Amino acid sequence: MIAYHFGRGRARLAPYLFLIPGLLLYLIIALGPSLATAGFSFTNATGIRGAPINWVGFENYKEFLLLGQAAKDNFGALGRTLIFCFFVTTIQFSLGLFVAMLVNQGLKGTNFFRTLYFMPVILGAVIQGLIWSLFLYPLGGPMARLLEFFGTSSEFLGGAPAVAFTWVIVVQIWANMGTTMIIFLAGLQTIPTEMYEAAEIDGASKWQIFKNVTWPLLTPSVNTNLLLNIIGSLQAWQLFLVLIGYRNGTQVLGYMIYAQGFGQTSGSTSSSFRQGYAAAASIILFILVLIIGSITQTILNRRERRILG
Amino acid sequence: MFKKFCFYIVLFMLLSLVLGACSPKSPSAEEQPVKDEEVTLRVLVHQNPPMVEFMEAFNTKFEAANPGVTVDMSVVNANDLSTVTQTRLTANDVDVVDIFGFANAAQPYMKNVEPPNWQTLIEAGYLMDLSDQAFIKNYDDATLQDAGSYNGKVYSVNLGRVSYSGIYYNKDLFTANNVKVPTTWDELVAACETFTGIDVPCMTAGGKDGWPIFVGAYGLTGSIYPDQEALVEGLWTGTIKWNDAKSMEMWDRMKVYAQEMMEAGASGVGGDAAPGRFASGAVAMFPGGTWYASAIEASEPAFDWGYIPFPGSNDPEENKYLFGKYDQGWAIADKSPNKDAAIKYLEAFSEPANYQEFANAVGFIPTQATATLNTKIGQEVAPYLANFRVGYEQYWVPPKGVGQYANPWASYFQPFGTFDDAQELADKVQADLQSGLDALN
């Protein structure tokens, strides 16, 4: 029997009282703004305190999903968000696992390489953007020189939308692969060496060892990484802002929300702030993340139960 | 013992929460008494190096003339100015704000559009009514009316007009290669062919910031549609289409501008680096705004350059216009606790001698009648000032539902965008606009 440390009677309330400050903090900082965003999505709020706010019902949602070519462009952004998520998640996940296995070999200089691969994570989006803007500078930057050697050229981040979009995927992976690697590395280091020794004694090949020992025992790390990569890439917007700005054919939902909310869609200095409309777009993004995140988590949990019991 | 300890801890936390909620409101900045002898005046401006340099010198002078007043000036990127202005006005954290000329107002023929943010700020009571201030009389009536008034009241004094539809050209390169300064489109094309023939790129722009790639080409639109206010009305009412014969002339030329005149790699040049690249002599021309002039002079003082309206038409008469906008202005936060100091600040700034120094430093086309154009850019634009017109983007307000291509921008063409065929792009631009207009019904 587990002893209850807080005694009997009213004293049993103590744990709940201890929870109150944390709960209040959560309500104020996390849940409150989320609920307010849902509320604002039914208004024409501008974000300017004192400006009239009118209830517009589902108008913002109708405009986002149905009104004219803008709605089709929104679906284009939605599609790009999913494409971005797919490529970032699959490549970052695979590369992170591969690099984690490399730096887990106990070879000379391992610590140096771990630091090197993780370093981009500690840089902010602005610094990451600056580094890549210089690397991809079309008038004599390192990448331009390389292409010049092969007799070709590119505008890179300022070029065709598909090219610019591809480079943001590359930078996003570079910027976050370190986190994926560290989580996998932590997972790899929890696998007992006896398991590998037993497999080797049984004559298992390297591939068989990976498939039957490493991969199943990495399940918790796989789940964590997949969820973090999916949610992170669905919500990405900062690198789009610092690398390419608001350009047709490159926007993802996260960046569209920012641009709509803060009047940065038209390039005009007096664009309207449409925070009600941006809130509706946020809720749509939230629903997308919720659906994809829930399905992924359900599948991963089932897999974890099947493998680890 | 443990029970008592827990009890006191919980009691303490609950009391802290309750007392925190019930404690008397700490005096906000608004309620704090203003000490005559010590005021910190919070000023917000956007990044424009010569203007910031002038303001720093002016602030020092102002502080010396007004003991006890300290000016705390913040500088933000122009793209972020409206966001920071809104945030700081709402938080009552600023006294004097730099605000662009009032533009993009909804017109009677427009439906289903959002008001511009300056209008929302005024309606929410964030900008002070300056109508009764003596210093506004230093500015010309047309400026006060066009760039700083709303519902008959003055909320901002605008400090200058800028043109963005001109081209800077390298005089030495033109002379050395016997190239005549172009006054028509065909002459511009021929000049570019001469320069590219000797491996000198014809034009550059600060394309990394996006809009500088197409801003010069506003002159192309202007030479086809000199009355830009009428152009906007025509687009709204359907009398002008982006894919009609007249507009096609514009798109065909924009394609040449984007693909043959602009240097490869211009999309990577930063807005602040482009003037230096032009001044280095690496390119022959630089389409852009008059605000770049001081940066060109600063990076290469001996460099000899000129500035002409973009010759978008083959009729020189249609190329005589300079299109532009009202740039920076001053407004005072209506909730400011330092209104007296803020008014003094604008009074001092608006004194003709100070304003003249500002106009000289920044290169704006002055909005005070007594000020003169003493700068080199001033002399360059002087012959065209009678033909200065407010440009399309200052009038244009899109209806809700328009597609993302509903603008006359040269950057939609490859290599900066997706399109290679002018007709295909024109049809797409018109379809995206039409989609918003149809959604009104």
The residues in A 236-275 lying below 8 A from B, measured between CB atoms, are 245-249, 262-264, 266-274
Higher local confidence (pLDDT), B173 or A2: B173
Alpha carbons B393 and A271: distance in angstroms, whole number: 11
Distance from CA of B276 to the nearest CA of A (A): 14
Residue type at position B335 = K
Of the candidates B437, B436, B429, B424, the one whose C-alpha atom is nearest the C-alpha of residue B405 is: B429
Contact between B167 and B322 under an 8 Å Cβ cutoff? The reply is: no
Q: What angle do CA B370, B375, B376 make, to 5 degrees?
A: 140
| pLDDT at position A269 | 43
In degrees and rounded to multiples of 5, residue B382 shows phi and psi of -50, -45
Using a CB-CB cut-off of 8 Å, the residues of chain A touching B115 are: 272
The residues in A 61-100 lying below 8 A from B, measured between CB atoms, are 63, 67-73
Distance from CA of A134 to the nearest CA of B (A): 9
Per the CB < 8 Å rule, is B416 touching A141?
no
Of the candidates A168, A91, A88, A160, the one whose C-alpha atom is nearest the C-alpha of residue A128 is: A168
Neighbour-count burial for A185-201, b at 16+ CB within 10 Å, e otherwise: bebbeeeeeeeeeebee
| pLDDT at position A74 | 93
Neighbour-count burial for A70-107, b at 16+ CB within 10 Å, e otherwise: bbebbebbbebbeebbebbbebbbebbbebbbebbeee
In degrees and rounded to multiples of 5, residue B368 shows phi and psi of -105, 130
Per the CB < 8 Å rule, is B398 touching A144?
no
Q: Which domain holds residue A225?
A: 60-308
Give B287's contacts (C-beta < 8 A, 6+ positions apart).
Answer: B166, B167, B168, B203, B205, B215, B216, B217, B219, B310
Contact between A51 and B124 under an 8 Å Cβ cutoff? The reply is: yes
If one counts the domains in chain A, the total is 1
Using a CB-CB cut-off of 8 Å, the residues of chain A touching B396 are: 268
Of the candidates B309, B277, B303, the one whose C-alpha atom is nearest the C-alpha of residue B290 is: B309
Rg of chain B in Å (alpha carbons): 25
Alpha carbons B355 and B202: distance in angstroms, whole number: 36
Per the CB < 8 Å rule, is A51 touching B123?
yes
| pLDDT at position B7 | 56
Alpha carbons B188 and A140: distance in angstroms, whole number: 27
Using a CB-CB cut-off of 8 Å, the residues of chain B touching A47 are: 86
| pLDDT at position A110 | 87
Residue A278 lies in a domain: yes
Q: SS3 of B96, please?
A: strand
Residue A73 lies in a domain: yes
Residue B303 tokens read as: 């460099």
Alpha carbons A130 and A118: distance in angstroms, whole number: 18
Residue B318 tokens read as: 């249609």
Rg of chain A in Å (alpha carbons): 24
Give B110's contacts (C-beta < 8 A, 6+ positions apart).
Answer: B236, B397, B399
Contact between B97 and B76 under an 8 Å Cβ cutoff? The reply is: no
Selecting from A14, A50, A263 the residue whose C-beta is nearest the C-beta of B117 gives A263
Residues shown for chain B: 441
The residues in A 120-149 lying below 8 A from B, measured between CB atoms, are 133, 136-139, 141, 144
A157 and B CB contact within 8 Å: yes
The residues in A 176-215 lying below 8 A from B, measured between CB atoms, are none
| pLDDT at position B21 | 46
| pLDDT at position B393 | 86
Residue A111 lies in a domain: yes
Distance from CA of A101 to the nearest CA of B (A): 37
Residue type at position A263 = G
Give B173's contacts (C-beta < 8 A, 6+ positions apart).
Answer: B179, B195, B200, B281, B284
Low-confidence ranges of chain B (pLDDT < 70): 1-37
Using a CB-CB cut-off of 8 Å, the residues of chain B touching A51 are: 120, 123-124
| pLDDT at position B12 | 54
Residue A11 lies in a domain: no
Alpha carbons A248 and A74: distance in angstroms, whole number: 11
| CATH code, A87 | 1.10.3720.10
* Burial of B112: CB neighbours in 10 Å, binned 0-12, 13-18, 19+: middle
Selecting from B86, B415, B432 the residue whose C-beta is nearest the C-beta of A69 gives B432
Of the candidates A262, A144, A159, A77, the one whose C-alpha atom is nearest the C-alpha of residue B210 is: A159
Residue B38 tokens read as: 């010590």
A60 and B CB contact within 8 Å: no
Using a CB-CB cut-off of 8 Å, the residues of chain A touching B439 are: 67-68
Contact between B56 and B48 under an 8 Å Cβ cutoff? The reply is: no
Predicted TM-score of the model (pTM): 0.82
A190-195: Cβ within 8 A, 24+ apart: A190/A217, A191/A217, A191/A218
| pLDDT at position B355 | 95
Using a CB-CB cut-off of 8 Å, the residues of chain A touching B267 are: 138, 155-159
Alpha carbons B267 and A17: distance in angstroms, whole number: 59
| pLDDT at position B386 | 84
Of the candidates B116, B297, B62, B203, the one whose C-alpha atom is nearest the C-alpha of residue A46 is: B116
Selecting from A18, A46, A141 the residue whose C-beta is nearest the C-beta of B10 gives A18
Residue A17 lies in a domain: no
Alpha carbons B231 and B223: distance in angstroms, whole number: 12
Of the candidates B320, B309, B326, the one whose C-alpha atom is nearest the C-alpha of residue B364 is: B326
Residue A234 lies in a domain: yes
Residue type at position B291 = W
Domains of chain B as residue ranges with CATH: 39-162+325-372 (3.40.190.10), 166-320+398-439 (3.40.190.10)
Selecting from B3, B103, B211 the residue whose C-beta is nearest the C-beta of A267 gives B211
